[in-house]
Structure 1
Amino acid sequence: MIEPHEIRRKAEKLYSAFLVAWMADEEFFPRSVPSDRSLPESLTAAAASIQRLRDGSKAALGFGYTIDWKERNSRRHGRNFFPRSIYFESPDDLLRFIGKQKAFSAFTATVQKIRSRHPGLDRWIRANRRAVADAASGIDGLLETVDYFLAHPRPEMFARELPLSVDTKFIERNAGLLRAWLDILLPSSAIVADEEHFARRFGLKYAEPLVHIRFLDTSLPQAASIPSFECAIPLHTMARWEIEAKNVVIVENKTNLLTLPPLAGTLGIFGMGGGVTDLRYVGWLARRHLRYWGDVDVDGFRILSRLRSVFPHVQSFLMDDACLTEWALLIAAPGNGSKGEVLPNLTNSERRAYERCVLNNLRIEQERLPQSYVVDSIASVPEFHI
C-alpha cells in the first residue's frame, strides 16, 4: 500500500506538469496519483496502512489528496473499505500538500507580468519555467530594463548611466536572461549577432580590456608613431592601429614577454588568458605570422584551442609533446586537476602533450623553462631573426 510520504514525492513531480498545463490554460484537475493499492497480508499491518493513508488525506487535513473508497469482501481481510483511487481535486489541494502556494503565486504573477508587457516572450516562458521562477524577485527591474532597450536600441552608454531604478550591477547579474529576452524582442539591426559579450552585443559602453604590447624590433614603434617600446592599448584602439610587424608572439607570462630577445619585425603581446579570443577584434592579426606561448597544462591548451578557433593559422611555441618530454621530469609541477575535454583545434603533437597533462595532472609553467632554452628555441623558428 502506498504511504503518504510516497504520495508527497509523486505530488512534487506533478508540480512541473501543472505549471505547463497552467501556462497552456489546460485542465489539470482532478489529477490521479498512480499508486500501489495492494494491502499487506497481515490484517493488523493492513489496518495500520489504511489508517496512515486516511490520516494524511484531505478528509483528515482539509487539503491534500482525496481517496475514493470501495467496499468489498476480501478472503484475507474480510469486508472492508479499500482505496479505489487517489487523486488531487484542485490546485489548492496540490499546492498546500507540497508547500508550493507562495512559489506558485510568484510564478503566475511573473508570467502574467511578462505576458502583459511582452507577449512575444510567451514561447520562451513555456520553454524556461525554471528561469521564470528564478526571475520572480527581480521581474520589475528586468521588464524596466528590457523596455528601456526597446525604446533606446544600442544606447551607447555605460550600464550605470542608464536611467533605471535598478542597482548598478543588475544588468551584469542578469545578463543571461536579459540577452535571451532582447534577442527575441529587439530588431536584428540592434543586435550584433555574432558577439557574445553583452555590452558589445547590445550597444553599451564598457571598460575595454587593455592589450599590453612590447616591440621586439626597435624600428616598429617609430613606424607606428608610438613613443614607447612597451605600452598598454585599449583593445579597439589596437584594432585601428595596424602595426607593421610581420610576426606576433602572444605570451601568457609577463616576465617571459619582457625577457624575449630582440626579434626583427616582431611584436609581443601579453596574453589575456580565457579572454584571448577578444583579439579577434584586432583583424590585422589574421595577416601576421602568429605564435602562442602558454603554459604546458590543461588550461594552456584550452586557451590555445580557443585562440585557434579565431585565428586558425596560429602556431604554438614550446607547447608540444617534445617540450613536455624534455622537461617533465625536471620542472613539471602538479596541475590543478582539471578534467579533460575534447579540444578540437590542436595538432597531433599538442594533443599528445595535452592528453599527458590530463592523465598525469602535469603542468610546466612557461617561466620555469631556462632562458637559454627559450632563446635557442626561438632561434630555430624560421620566421624569427634574432
Structure 2
Amino acid sequence: MSLVEAVEPQLGARIGRLRRTAHTLLQHGARVEPAVLVRVARLDDADVEVLCAALDWLGDHPDDIARLTERQLPVPGMDTKWLPRHGTLLRDLAGWDVRAHLRRRSAVAHLTYVDPEYRATGARRHDAWTSGDSHRLAYRPRTVLVVENRDCRLDFPDLPGTIVVEGSGKAATWLLADVPWVRSAERVVYWGDLDADGFEILDRFRTALATPSDEGGAACTVTSILMDADTIHRYGDLGVVRDRRGRRIERTAVDLTSLTEVERTAYYAVTTRGAAPVRRIEQERLPLVVAAELVAALTEAPSQGSHFM
C-alpha cells in the first residue's frame, strides 16, 4: 500500500468534517474564512456546538450584551471559562469583538493595613477595595506593596505608612492599574514569585503604571524586591524545578521590555533552555521579615506614621 493510499481515508474524513462544519456555521450566520474554518476544525464537536449556540444567542439578543460580563452569557453548554479560551475565534466568526462589548467586572483588591500606629488603635486590619464603589481607606498609604500570595499579605509585618495589596497573580494589572490611591502613593513596590510568570506579571504591571490611567491617575514607578539573582543564590534550596503535578517546568524567555537589568538576569536564569537548578521560588517560602526590611529601606522616612483618613 502506498503512502497516498494509506492516508487517503483519513484525509477524506477530515475534508468531510470541514465541509459539514462550514455548512453548520453558515447556517448559524457565521463569517467563514478558510483559516478560521481550520481553527474551528481543531475543536471537538461539543465546542463547535457551543460556538453555534453563541452565534445564535448573539443574533437574538443584540441589546443584552452590554449588561453582562463574560461569565454571565446564558449560552447553552458554555461554561464560565469558555469565552476567555475561545473569544478570538468567536470574534472572527461573528465579525465583531464580543468581549470588548461585555460589561467589565468590578475589580476587587484585598488589602492589609500594616502601619503600626494604625494597628495600635485596634481597628480592622484587613479590607477590600471595589472599583466604582464608595469607599474610604483607613489611611492614605505612602507605600503600596503588591504581593502575589495571600499568605504574604495576611501575615506581613508592621511597616509605617504601608498598605499591602494582594495582586492575585496575572490579574494584578487589571485589578490595580486604575486604583487612585495606588498611583498616588509615594512608592509602589511589587514582590512576586521568582519564576517566569512572576517576572511577566511585574513587566505588565510596571508598563501599565508607567503611563497615566484612563481615569486621570498619574504615571508612577514600580520597584521590585526579592526578584533578582542574589535571591536565587541565597534561597535556591527553597526553589523547585517541577510543578505541582510533577512535570518539569519549562519556559522560554520572551522580550520583557520593562524589566531592569538585574531583574532580567534573574528572569533569564529561570527561563534558560538549558538545565537550571531553580525554575521557581514561591514568595511565601521566603522570610517576611526580609521583605519588610527591603521595603523599609526604600522608604525615605520609615519612622513617620501614616496620614489617617
Give the equivalent residue in structure 2 for 1:380. Answer: 297
Partner of 2:184: 287
Q: 1:262 aligns with which of 158, 161, 168?
A: 158
Q: Is 1:252 equivalent to 2:165 in the alignment?
A: no
Alignment correspondent of 1:147: 59
Residue 116 (structure 2) pairs with residue 212 (structure 1)? no
The aligned residue for residue 79 of structure 2 is: 169
Instruction: Say which is worse superposed, 310-319 or 227-236, in terms of deviation.
Output: 227-236
Distance 1:341 1:159, change over 3 A: closer
> Which of 233, 256, 262 is 2:129 aligned to?
233
Equivalence for 1:324: 232
**Aligned counterparts of 1:357 and 1:219: Cα–Cα separation in 2:** 40
* Structure 1 residues 267 and 130: CA distance shift in structure 2, 3 A: same
By how many angstroms is 1:272 displaced? 0.7
Normalized per residue, the structure richer in helix is 1
Alignment correspondent of 2:263:
350
Alignment correspondent of 2:17? 103
Instruction: Report the Cα distance in structure 2 between the residues aligned to 1:159 and 1:375, rounded to whole angstroms.
Output: 38
RMSD: 3.6
The alpha-carbon deviation at position 230 of structure 1 amounts to 0.9
1:91 matched residue in structure 2 = none
Equivalent position amino acid for 1:299 in 2: D
- Corresponding residue for 1:33? none
Paired residue secondary structure (1:352): helix
Q: Secondary structure at the match of 2:62?
A: helix
Q: Across the two proteins, how many residue pairs are aligned to each other? A: 270
Work out whether residues 190 and 224 of structure 2, in 8 Å CA contact, stay in contact via their aligned partners in 1: yes
Q: Is the 8 A contact 1:245 1:266 kept in 2?
A: yes
Alignment partner, residue 137 of structure 1: 49
Aligned sequence identity (%): 23
Compute the displacement of 1:128 (Å): 1.0
Give 1:162-201 correspondences, 5 Å limit.
162=74, 166-167=76-77, 169=79, 172-173=82-83, 174-182=86-94, 184-185=95-96, 198=99, 201=100
TM-score by length of 2: 0.70
CA contact (8 A) 1:220 1:265 kept: no
Using the alignment, how far apart are the partners of 2:158 and 2:21 within structure 1?
63
Residue 35 of structure 2 aligns with which residue? 127
User: What displacement does 1:346 show?
Assistant: 1.2
Shift of 1:249: 0.3
Which residue is 2:223 aligned to? Answer: 315
Change (3 A) 1:220 1:311: farther
Match of residue 6, structure 1, among 4, 7, 15: 4
Letter in 2 for 1:332: L
- Secondary structure, in 3 states, of the residue corresponding to 2:203? helix
In the alignment, what sits opposite 2:245?
A: none
Q: Deviations over 1:41-100 (max 9, x none)?
A: xxxxxxxxxxxxxxxxxxxxxxxxxxxxxxxxxxxxxxxxxxxxxxxxxxxxxxxxx335
Shift of 1:8: 5.3
Whose relative contact order is higher, 1 or 2, with alpha carbons under 8 Å and at least 6 apart? Answer: 2
Q: Check 1:157–1:270 CA distance in 2 against 1; reply closer, same or farther (3 A cut).
A: closer
Residues 204 and 371 of structure 1: is their aligned pair in 2 closer, same or farther, counting only changes over 3 Å?
Answer: closer
Q: CA deviation at 1:213?
A: 0.3
Question: Does residue 304 of the first structure (1) align with residue 216 of the second (2)?
Answer: no
**Stretches of structure 2 lacking an aligned partner (at least 5 in a row):** 211-220, 243-248, 304-309
Q: Distance in 2 between matches of 1:241 and 1:299?
A: 32
CA deviations over 1:215-247 (Å, ceiling 9, x no partner): 2236779xxxxx733123335548x76873222
1:293, CA displacement in angstroms? Answer: 1.0
Structure 1 residues 168 and 160, CA, compared in 2 at 3 Å: closer, same or farther?
farther
Q: 1:254 to 1:100 in 2, by over 3 A?
A: closer
* Structure 2 contact 36–92 (Cα < 8 Å) conserved: no
Q: Deviations over 1:122-163 (max 9, x none)?
A: 5xx23312234346534541321221353444134785574x
Q: Which 5+ residue runs of structure 1 have no aligned equivalent?
A: 16-97, 192-197, 222-226
Q: 1:139 to 1:340 in 2, by over 3 A?
A: closer
Distance 1:379 1:385 in 2: 6
In 2, Cα distance between the equivalents of 1:185 and 1:300?
Answer: 33
For residue 190 of structure 2, give the secondary structure of its aligned residue in structure 1.
strand
CA contact (8 A) 2:173 2:205 kept: yes
- 1:334 is paired with a residue of what secondary structure? coil
CA distance in 1: counterparts of 2:172 and 2:77, whole angstroms:
30
- 3-state DSSP class of the match of 1:154? helix
Deviation at 1:212, TM superposition (A): 1.3
C-alpha separation in 1, matches of 2:21 and 2:252: 39
Shift, 1:255, TM fit: 3.0
